[in-house]
A and B are shown apart, each in its own frame.
Chain A
Amino acid sequence: MADHAQRSTVELKVNGDDQVLYLDHRTTLLDALREHLDLTGSKKGCDHGQCGACTVLVDGRRANACLLLAVAQQGREITTIEGLSTGGELHPVQQAFIDHDGFQCGYCTPGQICSAVAVLDEAERGWPSAVTADVAAADVRLDAAEIRERMSGNLCRCGAYVNIVTAVSAAAKGGA
């Protein structure tokens, strides 16, 4: 059996900046962001894909950074909560979470917001969800039931769900 290297170089574009990291293969994308790039906005809740606190955008799609190996993200563009605002201006979803009190302790919030940004994009593309009556329908209306289902991968221990749904709904309307 061949002896394999246990570390590799990986190039990522994180929030627009090129990063070159030399990492132990065991490093998850979440640990690379938090421990190696000092981007501690993405949170570690469960570390097993069960809570959504670590949600980031990978090539524009939301994913759980705790289950992604960093080495396997070679060449990908990663956006974290730190990368959503532009020139000091908050992303509309960030603003909506503030305007509608979409959080209490704030631990789940970076993940909630990254997830919500993707939810708006997915709805824009007409992607159905488990509560869409007809999966073949071309358009999606982001009503409360759709938002709850689409945001179900993000748990909130504080139970701020009611205001999270309001915030996402407001952002959806504002962005239309």
Chain B
Amino acid sequence: MKEFGYVRPADAAEAVATTYADANARYLGGGTNLVDLMKLGVETPSLLVDIAGLPLGQIEATDDAGLRIGALASNTDIAVDRLVRDGFPLLSEALLSGASGQLRNTATAGGNLLQRTRCGYFTDISKPCNKRQPGAGCAAKEGEHRNHAILGASTHCVATHPSDFAVALAALDARVEVESPAGTRTLALSDFYLPVGDTPQHEVALEHGELITAILVPAPPDAARSRYRKVRERASYAFAIGSVAAVVVVDDGTIRDVRIAIGAVASMPWRARLAEAALSDVAPSAASFAAAADLELAHARPLRDNTYKIPLVRDLIVATLCELTGVPT
């Protein structure tokens, strides 16, 4: 690991000013991703700005029955919070399916959104990787890519975003609140993650130094049912090879509202908007769910070794929506 300085700013404004002033400074949240990447030589900051002591850990109800999750709330704090478990159980389910009890205690909400891909070439500095070193090439395209993207990838990078939490947040239309020297702004999660294009090194729409202060989650629609389901290669303590977060409202035998986000398929949590559109105002059935999933997955561009993700995600969408709407699979 390269040597680095370490500071503990007194407040968010000082944290932001310090980080803006130094292009090689990085925020230290829980460090479960950053410290790991520093050990691997992937991240080489000259200064760590430790934000863990800042008072940004609150989880509160908002006036419009939504939720405000402080950026420094730990993954555990969020998953076990009474407001979250009762009103936004999808978030608890997603968080509890990720990492381990130990890691969830340390990992923060903001850090979770900004965790980097688990692509094995990104984390191996001896291998060519456009995300780590723009222009170097992408070793995954012809290499080990069983858990890489099937949607939205480019020829420059086929990596996936590994977060479970972000997939659930995408289905709930969450927003991210960020602070910069210019003030505070919020952006939709769908604008937060950037398309890969030819700049896989730019993953999020944040300037260097912008601090995530909170995640804002609007109230789910009335009578909505929701579920997060994750498939992985062992029963626990493993990243998803496919996941789905679904929120659905059925009234009078008709789907009135449906939101579907899928994980481990793209560089960002993937909102299945085509599937959603196909399901609006139709009667729930396994056949309609399968047809909607197929519509979304018609755009999949699998690699040599990850075509399995297409039927996997399709079946996951169908099974989850069947469960939520009470129709047979």
CB of B199 within 8 A of chain A? no
Complex Cα distance A5/B8, Å? 13
Cβ-defined contact, A71 with B6, below 8 A: yes
CB closest residue in chain A, given B234: A152
Q: Chain A: interface secondary structure? A: loop
Q: Taking the nearest CB of chain B, how far is it from the CB of A116, in angstroms? A: 10
CB closest residue in chain B, given A10: B6
**Within the complex, which residue of B22, B36, B101 is in contact with A67, where a contact is CB–CB below 8 Å?**
B36
Q: Taking the nearest CB of chain A, how far is it from the CB of B317, in angstroms? A: 20
Complex Cα distance A88/B47, Å? 44
Q: Taking the nearest CB of chain A, how far is it from the CB of B4, in angstroms? A: 6
Complex Cα distance A29/B3, Å? 16
Interface centre among A64, A115, A132, A134, by most chain B C-beta atoms within 10 angstroms, is A64
Cβ-defined contact, A4 with B31, below 8 A: no
Q: Check A74/B6 contact, CB under 8 A, given A115-B101, A118-B101, A153-B99.
A: no
**B-side contacts of A130, CB under 8 Å:** 93, 96-97, 236
Cβ-defined contact, B101 with A49, below 8 A: no
CB of A62 within 8 A of chain B? yes
**A-side contacts of B31, CB under 8 Å:** 67-69, 72
Cβ-defined contact, B22 with A1, below 8 A: yes
**Chain B contacts with A in 47-70, Cβ cutoff 8 A:** 47-48, 50, 52
Cβ-defined contact, A4 with B102, below 8 A: no
Among the stretches A14-22, A92-100, A120-128, the one at the interface with B is: A120-128
Q: Taking the nearest CB of chain A, how far is it from the CB of B326, in angstroms? A: 16
Cβ-defined contact, B92 with A128, below 8 A: yes
Cβ-defined contact, A49 with B103, below 8 A: yes
CB of A79 within 8 A of chain B? no
Complex Cα distance A77/B100, Å? 21
Cβ-defined contact, A136 with B236, below 8 A: no
Cβ-defined contact, B36 with A135, below 8 A: no
CB of B182 within 8 A of chain A? no
CB of B252 within 8 A of chain A? no
**Within the complex, which residue of A6, A68, A134 is in contact with B4, where a contact is CB–CB below 8 Å?**
A6
Q: Check A26/B105 contact, CB under 8 A, given A135-B85, A148-B236, A153-B237.
A: no
CB of A47 within 8 A of chain B? yes
Q: Taking the nearest CB of chain B, how far is it from the CB of A16, in angstroms? A: 21
Q: Check A26/B3 contact, CB under 8 A, given A135-B85, A135-B93, A136-B89.
A: yes
**A-side contacts of B100, CB under 8 Å:** 52, 64, 152-154
CB closest residue in chain A, given B97: A130
Return 16 A-B CB contacts under 8 Å, by A number. A4-B47, A6-B5, A25-B3, A49-B36, A64-B100, A68-B106, A71-B6, A72-B6, A118-B101, A119-B101, A127-B76, A128-B85, A130-B96, A130-B236, A135-B96, A153-B100
Q: Which residues of A contact B (CB under 8 A)?
A: 1-2, 4-6, 8, 24-26, 28, 47-49, 52, 55, 58, 61-64, 67-69, 71-72, 74, 115, 118-119, 122, 125, 127-130, 132, 134-136, 148-150, 152-155
**In the A-B complex, the 8 residue pairs with the closest CB atoms:** A4-B5, A153-B100, A152-B236, A135-B92, A152-B237, A130-B96, A127-B80, A6-B3
